[in-house]
Amino acid sequence: MEIALLVVEALKFIFPAYCANAAPVLGGGGKPMDFDRDFFDDKRIFGAHKTFRGFFVGLAIGTIVGVIDCLVFGFPWLFAVLTPLGALIGDLVGAFLKRRLNLAPGALLPVVDQIDFVVGALVFALPIMVISWQLAVTVLLITPPIHLSTNFVAYKLKLKKNPW
């Protein structure tokens, strides 16, 4: 498959997950998903930055974008919910890992910060669609520069405290 076409296919596939991952910055806050509790290692489970409101705002926006993707590109209907849900769960896994490594919420963990949500979206999409290895690799390769660029813009707009 031609590289440009593969990039376009990758963007069509991953866009709902991108939106779900970005939306909590706009609508987050409120009660933390870990209820301010520690794991058995006496460290927060996810941290104060992972909130129910942010999770559900991300899921709602990602699902709306996913429905549009389904209508325009013919993806299976479950795609509209599963890829945003997978992205948000993947991000929670990344936050959990960062707390185990003694990294504060918002601290940089290179590579994990850029692809945890993508891996979640890919895994959650597997039961409903065949994902070629070329598509998966393309998504994993294009996401870090896109993620870093959009986070930098959000930082400049004062939506985020860190540029990563």
One DSSP character per residue, 63-89 reads HHHHHHHHHHH---TTHHHHHHHHHHH
CA angle, 42 then 35 then 118, to 5°: 90
Instruction: Give CB contacts under 8 A, 24+ apart, made by 156-162.
Output: 159/25, 159/26, 160/25, 161/106, 162/106, 162/108
Asked if residue 28 has pLDDT above 80, the reply is no
User: Helix, strand or coil for residue 92?
Assistant: helix
Section 71-86 average pLDDT: 98
Who has greater pLDDT, 29 or 70?
70
pTM of the model: 0.94
Whole-number pLDDT of residue 73 = 97
